Amino acid sequence: MDERSPDCEVRNIGTDWNSACEEQAKFVSVLVGLQRIKILRLLRGGEQCVCEIERSLGIPQNLVSHHLRVLREAGLVSAQREGQFVHYSRVEDRIHQLMLAMEGLLSN
């Protein structure tokens, strides 16, 4: 049974979807995790170590590390080891690219 309203229109996305859109969508999908957005917001105030991020978010260290790895692989954060601690900071140019990618995917 089709539950769509008679006013609903089915559109073909194929006409304006290409490999560049695919790459942008993969890049933007990094933000699917709420905790990743929170981490990026925390890092607006400057670099922090995993333990600081863990305390701020109230989630276990292994989950913080997982989210930081995803963000690092996407180039959105950078890591710098200082002794036994790793400090993370935002990569502002890459975050700007992310915002442009989101705008490009969602605009008309």
pLDDT in tens, 1-44: 455 555 656 555 656 777 777 888 887 887 888 899 999 999 99
pLDDT in tens, 40-80: 999 999 999 999 999 999 999 999 999 999 999 999 999 99
Tens-digit pLDDT profile for residues 86-98: 999 999 999 999 8
Residues contacting 85, CB < 8 A, separation 6+:
49, 50, 51
> Is pTM beyond 0.85 here?
no
Q: How far apart are CA 94 and CA 77, in angstroms?
A: 9
Domain ranges in the chain are: 33-106
Q: Does domain 33-106 have CATH number 1.10.10.10?
A: yes
